[in-house]
Homo-oligomer: A and B are copies of this chain.
Amino acid sequence: MSEVLIVGSVAYDGLKTPYGSVPKILGGAATYSSLAASLFAPVKMVGVVGDDFKEAEFKMLRRHGINTELVTREKGKTFFWTGYYETDMSVAHTVSLELGVFETFNPLILGRSRKVPFVFLAAIHPDLQMNVLKQMDKPKFVVLDTRDLWINITKPSLLKVLKKTDLAVVNDQEIRLLTGEMHLMKGARALQKMGPKIVIVKKGEHGAMMFGPGWTFLSPAVPLDYVVDPTGAGDTFAGAFIGYLAKYKKVNEKLLKQAVIAGNLVASFTVQGFGTKTIEALNKAKLRKRAAAYHKFASIPKVKI
C-alpha cells in the first residue's frame, strides 16, 4: 500500500438543496477527496484553515487515517462557500464565496511527504498546483482536477501543469473550454495530447468515461433512489480513484478501470447525505454491498450475433 498526498481546499459550506438546508458544514475538495481516499490508503492532506476551524474536524479526519500535519492553521476565516441547488441538482448556484485564509494559501510539502508517490491536485489555482509538484520528489502518479474558472483566467499556467500530470479529471464543459472541441471523444483525445496520458470525463448521473492510450472505458453511475446533496461528488470520485490505485501501488488498465468504479461507488454515498456525513459513516462492508449490487446492474453479458 502506498500513501496519497492530496492538496486542495478545506472549507465550510452553507447549503440548500431540494431536500433541506444546512447553515455551516465541513466541506472543501481536499476534505471530500481525503475522506474518500482514506477508505483505501493512508492520506497526507495539504491545506489551510482559519482560526474558526473546529478541532473536532481535525479529530474526525485523523480518525479516518488522514495525516493533517500539512494542514496549517492561519489567522483569519476558513474558506466559506454558500450555495444552492434547484431540482436539477447537476448545477451548483453560488450565493457567496469568502476565500479567507485560502487567499494566501502557500502549500508547503515537508520532509518525507515529498516522497509520497500518488498525488491528487484538487481544483486550485494552477500556479499552486505547480508549486506543489515542484516540491515533490518524482511522484509516481499525478492526478489533476480543475474548473472552468481556472481554464478561463489562468489557462497558460494550467497548460504548464497539465504537461506534468498523468491523469486529468474534467467534465464535458471543461473539456470543451480546454480543447475547443465540441465532441467529447475528440476533446478527450486532444487533451491527452496536452500532457495527461489518461483523461477521465465525469458525466454526473451518467457515470464517468475514461480515455487511456488506445482504449476507452465507461463506468455508469450507481443508480440511486434519492440524492440529497451533490456537493463533493466529483472530489469524492477523484479521492477514491487515487486511493484505490495507491492501495495496489500500481497503475495499469485494469486497476484504472477498477479505480473508476471505486470512485463512482464512493461518490454514490456522498450525494445521499449533506456534506461529508455519509462518507464519514462509510465502511468496507457497506461499500462491498453496493459494489455487489453495482456489478449486477452494470455487468454486460456477451451478445451472440
1/0 contact string of A280-299 vs chain B (CB within 8 Å):
00001001100100111111
Considering residues A284, A295, A303, which has the most beta carbons from chain B within 10 angstroms of its beta carbon? A303
Given A206-B206, A296-B215, is A262 in contact with B220 using a C-beta cutoff of 8 Å?
no
Main secondary structure of the interface of A (DSSP, over half): mixed
Q: Say yes or no for A216: interface residue by CB 8 A criterion.
A: yes
Q: Report yes or no: A300 in contact with B298, Cβ–Cβ below 8 A.
A: yes
Min CB distance, A224 to chain B, in Å?
8
**In the complex, which residues of chain B have a beta carbon less than 8 angstroms from the beta carbon of A288?**
305
Q: Say yes or no for A91: interface residue by CB 8 A criterion.
A: no
Q: Quick one: which of A250-305 are within 8 Å of B by CB? A: 254, 257-258, 261-262, 265, 284, 287-288, 291, 294-305
Interface residues on chain A, number (Cβ under 8 Å): 42
Q: Say yes or no for A217: interface residue by CB 8 A criterion.
A: yes
**In the complex, which residues of chain B have a beta carbon less than 8 angstroms from the beta carbon of A261?**
300-301, 303
Residue contacts A-B, CB under 8 angstroms, 20 given: A183-B225, A185-B224, A185-B225, A207-B220, A216-B223, A216-B297, A218-B298, A220-B220, A244-B303, A257-B300, A258-B301, A258-B303, A258-B304, A261-B303, A262-B303, A265-B303, A287-B305, A291-B305, A298-B300, A300-B300
Q: Say yes or no for A24: interface residue by CB 8 A criterion.
A: no
Q: Say yes or no for A72: interface residue by CB 8 A criterion.
A: no
A211 and chain B: residue at smallest CB distance: B223
**In the complex, which residues of chain B have a beta carbon less than 8 angstroms from the beta carbon of A291?**
303, 305
Q: Say yes or no for A203: interface residue by CB 8 A criterion.
A: yes
Q: Report yes or no: A258 in contact with B215, Cβ–Cβ below 8 A.
A: no
**In the complex, which residues of chain B have a beta carbon less than 8 angstroms from the beta carbon of A298?**
217-218, 300
Given A265-B303, A301-B254, A303-B244, is A223 in contact with B215 using a C-beta cutoff of 8 Å?
no
**In the complex, which residues of chain B have a beta carbon less than 8 angstroms from the beta carbon of A294?**
300
Docked CA distance A87–B182 (Å):
9
Q: Report yes or no: A217 in contact with B295, Cβ–Cβ below 8 A.
A: no
Docked CA distance A224–B186 (Å):
10
Q: Say yes or no for A209: interface residue by CB 8 A criterion.
A: yes
Q: Report yes or no: A223 in contact with B300, Cβ–Cβ below 8 A.
A: no
Min CB distance, A2 to chain B, in Å?
16
Q: Say yes or no for A157: interface residue by CB 8 A criterion.
A: no
